[in-house]
């Protein structure tokens, strides 16, 4: 132990409760529609959460789209022609198995409820048979009824997760449309448009970010599973002969991204999905799983989808979605696809869980410092300007300094409470640097810069401050 003792409690609901409470208290994430009693697991991103979310989205876009010559972006409509969902198979098969307690009518996902063992057997004929076993003594989490299959627990039904609405003034079957449950299909449907206009050659990718909607049976665990969520993903089109090496390449890139997001590699698991559990068209799928306080569960996914999607859309729409090899004009084929899929909300959740830290300061019985150790690029506020007092003689220096620095970085200006309390507030929101303007500043034209992680303070000339901070924030 040095002068600070790390007392972060890892794992368990303790960490989750602390993060959820900090998010509410400091303005990262609020329960959705809170003044009306909320709306079943919906969440709103507050002033700091909005910045954090934007930082992750923008960095992803810069890294995977703008800084690569083999990737282009797409920003597509949320509601697509329902034929898209017929071709993709979502209308027929985007289901979760649902079971219902006969006593209280609470509904659960059969494949994710403790005490229930749900399995799907795929026969060589293509027919699937579903099995459910209920462990002896399993009780309904809602009413406590002991479950017996067929007696107190209904047999599983397939529940389609597509969220329906109607387009136009008449609420008729003919006008039924669906909010997209994933963003991938827009990239397949626009493949030809993008190919013709961008003149890209294989291999190349189409990337997209945006909302997706799923009528989840059991949303929960804060922002882990919600009915409305954000995805960032790309479809990387390849010649099928290259699929294995391209898959490995994107797996490495996903690991690099997670490292840069601040995720400890020991908390990650790269799980090869077995043949039985993979989609029938996929020759390899890796689930990227994370040790959340509520268990090891999916964070991202990486799938080799073959030519299933383009082929299916070509058949159903009649459009020609083939690619002509520029070296050999006779070689026409439907490109294959590798799909790395990054859930934005789960990225935010792991960034919050990884960053949360508590340390006890030696010599101070009561004092526990809560600090969000975000990587600097993730931190919602980069620099806080803290005049030591509210007096005008400091404000005339601090306010123009804030005006200048906030053109370069996201800044906060805080002149209330003691300087110690203000430092702690900034630590709790993860601000990497605090700049204190004090009475000496008037004479020496310098400020004190305090580092969030080391708590070390340095005197820096105001004239050199933006260069100093730029250097630190990009290192
Ligand atoms: P899960 O098994 O957790 O339901 P999934 O396998 O259905 O996830 P995909 O269809 O592969 O998930 O979706 C891609 C990514 O979207 C996931 O890796 C995850 O990050 C995110 N995601 C999926 N469903 C939700 C949800 N309901 N809320 C928040 N993020 C989600």
| Residues β-bridged to residue 302 | 286, 340
Name the closest-CA residue to atom 10, ligand 1: 182
pLDDT band at 365 (very low <50, low <70, confident <90, very high): low
Q: How far is the CA of 217 from the centre of ligand 1 (A)?
A: 13
Look at residue 1 in the predicted model and tell me its pLDDT: 33
Q: Which residues line ligand 1 (CB under 6 A)?
A: 182, 214, 216, 225-226, 229, 231, 298-301, 341, 343, 345-346
Look at residue 112 in the predicted model and tell me its pLDDT: 87
Mean pLDDT of 448-457: 96
Distance (Å, whole) CA 244 – CA 256: 19
Q: How far is the CA of 343 from the centre of ligand 1 (A)?
A: 7
* Total H helices, total E strands in the chain: 13, 26
Residue 471 has pLDDT above 80, yes or no: yes
Residue range 91-138, pLDDT digits in tens: 988 888 999 999 999 999 999 899 999 988 777 666 778 889 999 999
Residue 2 has pLDDT above 70, yes or no: no
Do residues 42 and 32 lie in contact, with contact meaning Cβ atoms separated by under 8 Å?
yes
The structure tokens listed for 26 are 């400091």
Look at residue 94 in the predicted model and tell me its pLDDT: 87
Q: How far is the CA of 348 from the centre of ligand 1 (A)?
A: 14
pLDDT band at 475 (very low <50, low <70, confident <90, very high): confident
Mean pLDDT of 292-320: 96
Name the closest-CA residue to atom 5, ligand 1: 298
Do residues 418 and 393 lie in contact, with contact meaning Cβ atoms separated by under 8 Å?
no
Distance (Å, whole) CA 205 – CA 194: 10
Do residues 138 and 108 lie in contact, with contact meaning Cβ atoms separated by under 8 Å?
no
Distance (Å, whole) CA 407 – CA 212: 33
**Residue that has been written with the tokens 């059991």 in this structure:** 218
List, in sequence order, every beta strand (DSSP E) within 314-445.
323-324, 332-333, 336-343, 356-361, 368-372, 383-387, 411-413, 433-437
Give this prediction's pTM: 0.93
Ligand 1 atom at minimum distance from 301 CA: 18
Name the closest-CA residue to atom 27, ligand 1: 225
């Amino acid at each position: 132990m040095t002068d600070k003792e790390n007392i972060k409690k890892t794992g368990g609901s303790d960490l989750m409760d602390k993060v959820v409470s900090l998010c509410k208290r400091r303005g990262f994430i609020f329960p959705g529609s809170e003044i009306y009693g909320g709306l079943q697991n919906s969440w709103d991103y507050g002033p700091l959460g909005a910045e954090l979310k934007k930082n992750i989205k923008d960095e992803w876009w810069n890294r995977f789209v703008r800084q690569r010559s083999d990737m282009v972006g797409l920003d597509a409509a949320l509601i697509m022609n329902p034929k898209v969902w017929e071709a993709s198979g979502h209308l027929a098969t985007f289901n979760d198995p649902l079971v219902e307690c006969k006593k209280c009518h609470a509904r659960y996902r059969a494949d994710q409820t403790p005490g229930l063992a749900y399995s799907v057997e795929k026969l060589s004929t293509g027919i699937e048979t579903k099995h459910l076993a209920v462990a002896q003594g399993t009780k309904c989490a809602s009413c406590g009824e002991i479950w017996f299959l067929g007696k107190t627990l209904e047999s599983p039904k397939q529940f389609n997760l597509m969220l329906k609405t109607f387009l136009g003034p008449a609420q008729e079957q003919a006008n039924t449309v669906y909010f997209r449950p994933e963003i991938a299909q827009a990239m397949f449907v626009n493949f030809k448009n993008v190919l013709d206009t961008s003149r890209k050659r294989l291999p190349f990718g189409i990337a997209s970010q945006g909302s997706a909607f799923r009528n989840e049976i059991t949303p929960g665990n804060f922002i882990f599973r919600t009915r409305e969520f954000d995805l960032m993903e790309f479809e990387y089109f390849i010649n099928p002969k290259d699929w294995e090496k391209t898959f490995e390449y994107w797996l490495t890139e996903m690991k690099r991204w997670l490292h840069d997001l601040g995720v400890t590699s020991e908390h990650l698991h790269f799980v090869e999905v077995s043949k039985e559990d993979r989609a029938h068209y996929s020759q390899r799928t890796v689930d990227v799983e994370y040790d959340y306080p509520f268990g090891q569960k999916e964070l991202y996914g990486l799938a080799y989808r073959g030519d299933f999607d383009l082929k299916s859309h070509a058949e159903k729409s009649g459009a020609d979605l083939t690619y002509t090899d520029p070296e050999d004009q006779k070689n026409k084929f439907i490109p294959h696809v590798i799909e790395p899929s990054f859930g934005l909300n789960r990225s935010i959740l792991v960034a919050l869980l990884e960053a949360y830290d508590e340390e006890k300061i030696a010599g101070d019985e009561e004092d526990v410092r809560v600090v969000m150790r975000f990587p600097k690029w993730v931190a919602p506020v980069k620099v806080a300007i803290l005049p030591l007092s509210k007096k005008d003689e400091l404000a005339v220096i601090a306010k123009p300094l804030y005006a200048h620095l906030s053109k370069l970085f996201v800044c906060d200006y805080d002149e209330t409470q003691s300087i110690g309390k203000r430092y702690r507030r900034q630590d709790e929101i993860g601000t990497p640097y605090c700049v204190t303007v004090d009475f000496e500043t008037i004479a020496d034209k310098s400020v004190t810069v305090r580092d969030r992680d080391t708590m070390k303070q340095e005197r820096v000339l105001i004239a050199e401050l933006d260069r100093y901070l730029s250097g630190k924030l990009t290192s």
